[in-house]
Structure formats: structure tokens, C-alpha cells
A and B are shown apart, each in its own frame.
Chain A
Amino acid sequence: MADFLAIWLPSWLALTLAALVHVTLILTLALTAAAAFTWAERKVAGRIQDRLGPTRVGGRFGWLQAVADGLKLVSKEDIIPRNADPLLFRTAPYVSFCASFCVYLALPFANGWVAQPLDIAVFFVLAVAGLEVLGVILGGYASGSKWSLFGAMREAAQVVSYEVPLALCAVIPVMVAGTMDLVAIGNMQAGWAWNWLIFHNPFLFITFFIYFTCAVASVNRAPFDLPEAESELVAGFLTEYSGFRWSVFFMAEYASMFAVSMLAAILFLGGWNGPLPITVWLGLAPNPATGYEPHALLAYFGNFLGMVNILIKATLGVLLMMWARWTLPRLRIDQVMTMCLKYCIPLAAVMFVGTMIYLYAFPVGLIFRSGGG
């Protein structure tokens, strides 16, 4: 977009304008997603628990519930405990939110539809997503409450540990693709569903499940929601937070849930490519076999379908996390660490080596496809 604007405007102005537009778009998406998932979470929880969930606000399905919740939270009294460190206490939620929001800068929604195309997008996403923990630790520490401190310490132990297997799992598809550019990784999975990286080889198939487990753990969702374990630590690092600041933490949680699910969709589940190459049949996407290049407008429409596709996949991932949350009891902190250090990391490492050997042994692939980039 910046290049396009630069035809008429000086380049600095073009860049600024483009950045503003991108940020607005992404922020809207992240916030809408957070609001929609708040509603969905309550609805899903309700249905799982044999009740209705929200039904009053906004008609039969209570779809305005998220707005009502938001209004309630914003209008609440702003409380900062006497023992808290006021500056850090105020800063913490925004650190968390910025981190989980910045992830979207590098996440492509369709072929080329990305705020900032990066050659090292995977690395960037993992690095920035890991910053969210900083806000949580800051908040827990600055609250001046022992329960908050316990929550922050748990977060530090848990999330930092799970970053390791998470990164290992993300590296495996990168190794197969031969690039860290998420747009390129997404594009190479075009075509039929068996082109998706999850079906590339048996090791990658297992890797997906390890990735998803680690992703759930690193965004603190049940059964790994120890930092805010409400039956043990009152509310963990959130104990002293209320009103707007609490809702910022809350949105950060949902935003990162959605982000890790989107990353899973791009790295393993074909990104914006559907299970069938419909866009190619309809002439909305380039066809490498015939060398067909669609008109810009058609390509735009194809990309829109792709975006719907990836959003559906990511939403399914989030719904899976909700399903787990309302079904399973919580693990204990030592069990969480055991699972990470004893099972997830060694398994991910084995998958890494396995994929490496597979790529060496079958450079053109065994069953369906030619191997890798």
C-alpha cells in the first residue's frame, strides 16, 4: 500500500498513512475478534454446561453481550491498591496487549495481505508473542499482593518454558518450507488438502498436536491456566485488577489465543488455502500449471475468500481451546512443568530430527507431493 501511495505522495507521508490504515484494520480485527470470542466463550460454556448462556442483550442470542460487558467494565471504579507500584501497575496491561497485538503485524490473512511482509515472520511472531509474559509478570509484581506474585511467578515459569517446545514445533514446518516468510509458507500449501504441511509427513502430523498443546499452555488457557487459577490463587496476577485494565488483559488473552491459532493455521493447516483448490477453478488465484494470472479484481476476491478461510480455521482452533477449558480440570504447576520438560521438548526434538531425516531420505516426498522448498 505504501508503494501505491508513494506514486503521489512523499515517501514518508505514504509510509505513515499506510501504517495508520494497517494498524486501524488490524486493531479493529483484533478487538472484534476479542469481543466475538467473549460472546462465543460464554455461549459455548453455556451449551456445554447445559444452560443457555447470554440470552438478553441483543436479541435471542445475546450477541451484544460483549458490548454490555465492555460498558460495565469501563464504567467501573478504577482501583489501584495502596501497596501497588502505581506506574508499573498501570503500564502492565498495555505491555501485554501491545505484545499480543503486534503479532498481527506479521500475520498474513491471505496471499500478500499482511501489514508488514517480513522475511523472518515466524521468528518475529514467536519473539513478540513471548513478550506478553512481561506484562503479566509486571502486573503480578506491581500489584503488591502475594496471590498476584504467585500468579506472576507461575506465568514466568510456565510460559517461558513452553516457548521452547513451541518454537521447536514452529521451526519444523519452517524447515520443510525452507523459508520463514509466512506468505511464502502459506502459498506453498495451495491446491488440495494434502498439500497442507500437516500432511507432509508423519512427523509433521504429530508436531501439529504438540504445537497446539504448547500453544494452549503459552496463552494460559485451561487446563494450563495456572497463572490465574481461580480456585487456588484467587485470580492470580489479575487479583488486584478491575475495570478497564482488567479488560485490557482479557483482550490480550483472546488476541493471543486467536494469534496462535492463526499461526497454526498458516504453518500446518494450509493457511488461506481451502481443502479444495476452488479459487484456482474459479480463476481467482494464479494457476502454476497453465501460467494463468487472474485480473487484480478477481485476485482481490480470491484473497477475500482466503481470508474467510483462514479466519474459520483460526476460529475452530479457538473453539477447540474453549471446549478443552470447559471440560478438563486444571493441571498442577509441577505437572505442567513435567509435561513441558519431559514430554513436549523431547517429543518436539524427535519430530525435528525425524523430519530432517525424512527430508533427506525422500527429497521428492513419499506419497503425494514433492518435498519442501
Chain B
Amino acid sequence: MAVEGVDPEVAECDVRTDEILINMGPQHPSTHGVLRVVLRTDGEVVLEATPHIGYLHRCAEKIGENVSPRQWIPYTDRMDYLAGMNMNLGWSLCVEKLLKLEVPEKARHLRVIIVELNRIASHLVAAGTYGLDLGSFTPFMYAFREREKIYDLFELVCGARLTYSYITIGGAMADFPSGWLEKCEKFLNEFEPVVDELHALLTDNTIFIRRTAGIGVLPAEVAIDYGCTGPVLRGSGVAWDLRRDGDPWYTRMYEGYEFHVIAQTNGRYPVERPGHPVPKAAVLGDCWHRYYVRMLECVESMRLIRQGMEKYSRAKGGIGEPIKLMQKLPKGEVYLETEAPKGQMGFMIVSDGAAIPWRARARSSSFCNLSVLSELCRGCLIADVPAILGSLDIVLGEIDR
């Protein structure tokens, strides 16, 4: 029925269920930083979710073309600020590969211990904030309590708690202080039961399973097509971990270490928790699996740290000398990817022979992982958007660089 004075098209639209265009972010509690997702919804059903990025762009790559590689290390910290050590390592290894510079045995094990600790810290933030995204506050506090202990350990080795610049080209800035290994061992012993606590509060919680199992299913092919890496890819059942399958320059670091690549292949995980099977509702590639992979990786990282501490205390010699601040670089280009907690973090350096690289480039894993968001969110409910976003575990500092 036409109403007088009203545009017939508008009147017709009124009869239909209206689609709402709504901004989720950049100031929203669960977009993990300054991400803005534009949602087109029909009631509670999301028809389209478009992520908009760039709110944290700091021209990191351009800065990399104006400072020497060692001077750029503090900038890598600020990319994935939840895993600064892993960022330091990625860039250091990349430049070392260009320089053909090998670090001493002791530095190698030191690096394994440090980056695996940071991997645990990063996964703890992922799991804790994931609980927060689903409305459960307490696991977040438990996770951050443990992360705090890791940061205390980092503070002991380098004085910083978030942006370390500790691992550097040619080794590390300083050796562990005396008594540090015992403190680390103490932390690992304390952390082990907390993992079970988190499993009880989240992993095996019925509501948690209902909120995550079967939500945001990412098939392995799609994950590969979008370039997803890290726990997101492994959560889809692809056993691909650069620590095992990566560039030899990187995998050499893990030589002699024993660890599993956490991914469900042939219907089972390499590590299983007795008495706690994968819930029936969980589909390979859903939010629950992505979260679960991270939890299991924490345990694997603990194994690696224990091995590393043993190897470190047996290794002779120093931890290497950092290169000169303005050391001339050989001509050439190198691209190296490492397995950061969020996925494959690639660094590229192109040198024309000067001390300052001609081009420095960072390939962000979070960027690719985020790109599947619109694919996963089609037809889900509004409440599922934080659930899916949280399971991708992005960090905006790395996406925008």
C-alpha cells in the first residue's frame, strides 16, 4: 500500500527486513586492537564482514630502508608486540643469511629457549583473550598471570618486558644472568598445571565447545589458497610447521630437537590428552581446533624449552658478537620465513652493498590470516564474529606494520 508523500521505493524497503550496516571497531572490545570490521547484517545474521585495516600503520618498512639492519631490530619488536622475540629472530636470521654469518652453538640454544617462551606467552594471550571474546573473563586473568611470569624472565635477560631487541644479528645482546635457568625451570613446573586449568575452564567447557565447535570452518584448501599459516593452517589439519619444514637456515636452529607438529591428521592429534577426546561437534578447521592447536603447542614449546636448557648448559663458548651497527652488507637479496606464534613471519632484505638496506620487507602472517575473515563470517551470527576473529589470533601491529 502506497503511503502518500513517501518515496515508493523507501516504502517497499520498509516491508523487507532491513539490512543494517554496522561498524565493529576500530574501538570495539573484541577486535583485538584497532581493526574495523564493517558488518552487513540482517538482524543477527551477518551477511558480509569486511575488515578494514591501516589504523596502526607506522611505515615500518620505509623506516627499514633508512636505518641499518641492527637499528631496525627495535622496529620489528613493535610489529607483533606479543611475540617480540620471534620478530627479532626472524629479522636477525634473515640478515645473518645475507651475511652468511653463523651464530655459536650456545646462542642457537639460547634463541630456542627465548623464542619458545615467547611463543607460550603469545599463545596464552590468544587463549585468554579468546575466553574474553566468548564472555568468560577468568581464563584471561589466569593466562595473563602466567604470561607475567614469562615477562619477568625476559626482564631478567634484557631489561624490557614487551619490546626486547634482545636477539640480534650475530647472536643475542647478553647471556642469561646466573640463576636464570633455575627460574625458568621453576616457571615451567608451575605452568604445567595451569594448562590443565585452562583446559578445564575453556577447552572442555560445554558452553565453550558449543560456541566454537563447527563455527568458522576453514577447509584446508581454502586456508592454503588464502595463504593462512601457523595455528590457523594447522587447525585445518595441515601438518606444516616451518620449524620442521622451513628454510634450512632456519631449521638448523632446531637441529637435534624433538617436537611434534601439532595438527590433526588422520583424525588424531600427535599429542593426546588422556580422557579428553576431541568433542564430537568439532569439525576440522573450526574455531575449536584453531584454539586447541595453540594450547597443545604451548606444551610442545615447554618440551622444546626443557631440551634447549639442557643443550644450552652443555654448550661451550660464547653467545656471539652482534655485528657492527653500520656494518656494510654484501650485495644481494634474501627472503626468509620463520615460524612465529601467529604464523609464518617472512622478512626480506635487498642490499645494494651499503650499510643500509635498499629494501626491507616484512610478510605478515596475521595479514593473510585476517583475509579469510570475510569468507568465514558469511552467514554467521554477530556473536560468532568475535569468536572467529579471536580464533584467527591476529595482531594489528603486524598487519599494518
Which residues of A are in contact with B by a Cβ distance under 8 Å? Answer: 45, 48-51, 146-147, 150, 153-154, 222-223, 225-226, 229-234, 326-335
Q: Tell me the dominant secondary structure on chain A's binding face.
A: loop
Residues of B within 8 A of A334 (CB): 381
Residues of B within 8 A of A153 (CB): 43
Is the pair B30, A232 in contact by a Cβ cutoff of 8 Å?
Answer: yes
CA distance A234 to B22 in the complex (A): 12
* Also in contact, A328 and B136, with CB within 8 A (given A50-B145, A146-B22, A231-B29): yes
CA distance A331 to B135 in the complex (A): 8
* Also in contact, A329 and B141, with CB within 8 A (given A225-B135, A334-B381): no
CA distance A19 to B28 in the complex (A): 46
Is the pair A326, B211 in contact by a Cβ cutoff of 8 Å?
Answer: no
Mask: chain B, 179-203; 1 = CB below 8 Å from A; 0 = not: 0000000000000000000000110
Q: Is B210 an interface residue (CB 8 A)?
A: yes
Within 8 A of A (CB), among B75-125: none
Q: Which residue of B lies closest to A154 (CB)?
A: B44
Residues of A within 8 A of B137 (CB): 45, 49, 326
CA distance A330 to B202 in the complex (A): 12
Q: Which residue of A lies closest to B131 (CB)?
A: A329
Residues of A within 8 A of B22 (CB): 146-147
Q: Is B265 an interface residue (CB 8 A)?
A: no
Residues of B within 8 A of A326 (CB): 137-138
Instruction: For residue B348, give the distance in angstroms from its CB to the closest CB of chain A.
Output: 36
Q: Is B356 an interface residue (CB 8 A)?
A: no
Q: Is B20 an interface residue (CB 8 A)?
A: yes
Instruction: For residue B237, give the distance in angstroms from its CB to the closest CB of chain A.
Output: 25
Residues of A within 8 A of B136 (CB): 327-330
Residues of A within 8 A of B141 (CB): 49-51
Is the pair A50, B142 in contact by a Cβ cutoff of 8 Å?
Answer: yes
Is the pair B211, A331 in contact by a Cβ cutoff of 8 Å?
Answer: yes
CA distance A332 to B201 in the complex (A): 18
Is the pair B201, A327 in contact by a Cβ cutoff of 8 Å?
Answer: yes
Is the pair A332, B205 in contact by a Cβ cutoff of 8 Å?
Answer: no
CA distance A95 to B141 in the complex (A): 36
Q: Which residue of A lies closest to B23 (CB)?
A: A146
Q: Is B382 an interface residue (CB 8 A)?
A: yes
Q: Is B207 an interface residue (CB 8 A)?
A: yes
CA distance A328 to B131 in the complex (A): 9
Q: Which residue of B lies closest to A147 (CB)?
A: B22
* Also in contact, A332 and B138, with CB within 8 A (given A50-B145, A150-B44, A232-B30): no
* Also in contact, A232 and B385, with CB within 8 A (given A328-B207, A329-B211): yes
Instruction: For residue A363, give the distance in angstroms from its CB to the closest CB of chain B.
Output: 40
Is the pair A332, B383 in contact by a Cβ cutoff of 8 Å?
Answer: yes
> Which of A50, A234, A332 is within 8 Å of B28, CB to CB?
A234
Is the pair A329, B135 in contact by a Cβ cutoff of 8 Å?
Answer: yes
CA distance A223 to B135 in the complex (A): 8
